[in-house]
Structure 1
Amino acid sequence: MEITFYKYQGTGNDFVMIDDRSQTFPVSKSLIASICHRRFGIGSDGLILLQNAEGYDFKMVYFNADGGEGSMCGNGGRCVARFASDLGLFSGMAKFIAVDGEHEATVSNEVIELKMTGVTDVQQYEDYDFINTGSPHYITYVDQVEDVDVVNIGSEIRYGSVYGPQGGTNANFVEVIEENHLSVRTYERGVEDETFSCGTGVTACALSASIRNGWSSPITVETIGGTLEVAFAQTAEGEFGDIILKGPAVRVFEGSLDIPSTPIL
């Protein structure tokens, strides 16, 4: 079976995109892991199926690089919006459905603005915060983020006694550059490595920093792969709504892939 695939990236967070409106893609964990493998496959942080959904411009189905279906991916949401726009499914603004509910996306030549789900529960501790922005995120602050051993420390947090039994968490390390300006590095579960950028992680870090520092919207966040911006509205009760993740999403290349009868991994 031969399929056409597309490669997109949003601040270095890269995804294999497949137009699956016919719903013929043979979903299996081993197959998806082999496609995402950076030595034996196309190579990506995840795979996204674009499908039809009644009442929406499209549906986003996201899989982590390990082949398992994942929670919400913010950069993936921005990339799939660009993909759908490139396919001509909408012009300007789209409404789509993902695993965490309904999203809206606005597409321009330079950037994608993605409306994230609201946040009603921010758990704050002395050394870290925990926020679910469609995916769970542990957030801790450091003096020099470039010096952090993200993979080893992040994997310990991801599998640790607090969050490991709950399915694990993503781990974010944050340096405050100046007012309303952060630098963030993220260990992502499902990829089991540091990624160049994590959209839901950047969003969680921006909300955490706004609480801890009294910052107003928007907040600029630097990642290894580039710059993102998070806008939001906060209620007196400490809840967040109208959360917008803004940044670039770029088509890298396209090709065809022969799906073997027995996946590589």
Structure 2
Amino acid sequence: MNKAVLRGQVSTIDPVEVLSGLSGLAFAKAHATGNDFVLLADPRNDFDPSPEQVAAICDRHRGVGGDGLIRAVPSSAIEEGRDLLLGDPSAYWFMDYRNADGSLSEMCGNGVRAFVHFLVTEGFVELPAGASLSIATRAGIKTVTRSVNGYAVGMGPWAFAFPAEALANDRDSVVDAEGLKAPLPGLSIDMGNPHTVVTVATAGQLAGLGLVRSPRVDPLPAAGTNVEFVLRAEPLVHDGIGEISMRVHERGVGETLSCGTGACAAALATRHWAGDAGIGEWNVAVPGGVVKVRFTVDSAGDEQVELSGPAVMTGRGVLA
């Protein structure tokens, strides 16, 4: 793993030197409930950034700064996108998402909202309220619908990350992190990217976690995992809506103010532990705000997950 931007660690790469080769590169910044991204428009597929370049751009002290970098590139220009176009020819844009350490990531629920907002504000697409847009990602096609207050993303189906026989008392792993007196059991959820969800007992326990370094998860999913620490509201359900609070450590980034796929995984795990599949809507409070998660069943009987929340453009610039 590239060590350049893991929070709390000393960089082994000089971002100034790396960025000097990118002079004149135009970028934008956006966030979705505090999860912030550097966005690059690349309609001709001219720039495939290296991990070192991504890490340097996302460095918060010596670069632009961000939880990740998203490149807007035509789906037809890259192999993963061309494969997806066979199933949905309308998915013109591919969301090329990189973690802040430069590693590739399958998807980001907050990132795809910021990505579509970027496409809209930069004039690449027209998307009035109520209209939908297909976006190609490494986790498949995602349908994004614009609302008056933000965007709703069809995240698709979900699955447990480990086989059913790996579950013991509705847990499949043990998680330890700075600030915990003892390791806690976790449940791993696949949202197109991997998550491990842990419940804490009190607000003080949630606030006292140290999430600069990666929590230790055993067994660790093959591709690593994002780790969500969740506190249930009391009561859990208010006016038919489930309510939880969450902090998250993201692979290749560190703690972030929000994680969209993580919010979906947290709601799914909490619902599973509550034993109530009838809780179809959830408010998930993260340090950067509140996102909404909704579960529906499609015509084939498969459960689908929808994530909704705001997206905000915060600035534009050019690398010096």
Q: Answer whether TM exceeds 0.5 for this pair.
A: yes
> Percent identical across equivalent pairs?
32
Q: Report the alpha carbon displacement of residue 239 of structure 1 after superposing the two structures with TM.
A: 5.7
For residue 64 of structure 1, what is the aligned residue in structure 2?
99
Structure 1 residue ranges (4+ consecutive) displaced by more than 6 angstroms after TM superposition: none
Letter paired with 1:98: T
For residue 223 of structure 1, what is the aligned residue in structure 2?
286
Kindly indicate whether the alpha-carbon contact (under 8 Å) linking 2:161 and 2:194 is maintained by their aligned counterparts in 1: no
Any residues of structure 2 matched to 1:99-110 within 5 Å, and which? 99-110=138-149
Q: Which runs of 5+ in 2 are unaligned?
A: 1-22, 77-88, 172-184
- Flag the 1:90–1:21 CA change in 2: closer, same or farther, 3 A: same
Kindly indicate whether the alpha-carbon contact (under 8 Å) linking 1:59 and 1:96 is maintained by their aligned counterparts in 2: yes
For residue 35 of structure 1, what is the aligned residue in structure 2?
57
Kindly indicate whether the alpha-carbon contact (under 8 Å) linking 1:121 and 1:239 is maintained by their aligned counterparts in 2: no
Any residues of structure 2 matched to 1:42-57 within 5 Å, and which? 42-54=64-76, 55=89, 56-57=91-92
Letter paired with 1:163: L
Counterpart secondary structure, 1:79: helix
Q: Which of 110, 126, 129 is the matching residue for 1:90?
A: 126
Distance in 1 (CA, whole Å) between partners of 2:37 and 2:219 is 30
Any residues of structure 2 matched to 1:115-264 within 5 Å, and which? 115-121=154-160, 124=167, 125-126=170-171, 127-145=185-203, 146-151=206-211, 155-157=214-216, 160-163=217-220, 166-177=222-233, 178-179=236-237, 180-191=242-253, 193-213=254-274, 214=276, 215-233=278-296, 240-241=303-304, 243-258=305-320
Q: Report the alpha carbon displacement of residue 200 of structure 1 after superposing the two structures with TM.
A: 0.7
Counterpart secondary structure, 1:143: coil
Counterpart secondary structure, 1:211: helix
Kindly indicate whether the alpha-carbon contact (under 8 Å) linking 1:70 and 1:190 is maintained by their aligned counterparts in 2: no
CA distances 1:195-246 after superposition (whole Å, capped 9, x unpaired): 10001100101111222221511111000000000001259xx9632x1100
- Confirm whether residue 73 of structure 1 aligns to residue 118 of structure 2: no
Letter paired with 2:257: F
Letter paired with 1:173: F
Distance in 1 (CA, whole Å) between partners of 2:122 and 2:59 is 26
CA distances 1:13-45 after superposition (whole Å, capped 9, x unpaired): 000011111111241110110000000000000
Q: Report the alpha carbon displacement of residue 131 of structure 1 after superposing the two structures with TM.
A: 0.2
For residue 10 of structure 1, what is the aligned residue in structure 2?
32
Distance in 2 (CA, whole Å) between partners of 1:150 and 1:114 is 30
Counterpart secondary structure, 1:128: strand
Q: Report the alpha carbon displacement of residue 148 of structure 1 after superposing the two structures with TM.
A: 3.8
When the two structures are aligned, how many residues end up with a matched partner? Answer: 251
Kindly indicate whether the alpha-carbon contact (under 8 Å) linking 1:150 and 1:187 is maintained by their aligned counterparts in 2: no
Distance in 2 (CA, whole Å) between partners of 1:104 and 1:36 is 27
Q: Which of 102, 112, 120 is the matching residue for 2:151?
A: 112
Kindly indicate whether the alpha-carbon contact (under 8 Å) linking 1:122 and 1:130 is maintained by their aligned counterparts in 2: yes
Distance in 2 (CA, whole Å) between partners of 1:232 and 1:44 is 30
Kindly indicate whether the alpha-carbon contact (under 8 Å) linking 2:142 and 2:154 is maintained by their aligned counterparts in 1: yes
- Flag the 1:33–1:190 CA change in 2: closer, same or farther, 3 A: same
Letter paired with 2:34: G
Q: Which runs of 5+ in 1 are unaligned?
A: 259-265
Counterpart secondary structure, 1:30: helix
Counterpart secondary structure, 2:156: coil
- Flag the 1:39–1:248 CA change in 2: closer, same or farther, 3 A: same
The structure with the largest alpha-carbon Rg is 2
Letter paired with 1:149: L
For residue 263 of structure 1, what is the aligned residue in structure 2?
none
Distance in 1 (CA, whole Å) between partners of 2:156 and 2:297 is 13
Superposed CA RMSD in Å reads: 2.1
Counterpart secondary structure, 1:205: helix
Question: Scaled by the length of structure 2, what TM-score is found?
Answer: 0.74
Question: Scaled by the length of structure 1, what TM-score is found?
Answer: 0.88
Kindly indicate whether the alpha-carbon contact (under 8 Å) linking 1:120 and 1:239 is maintained by their aligned counterparts in 2: no
- Mean CA deviation greater in 67-76 or 115-124: 115-124
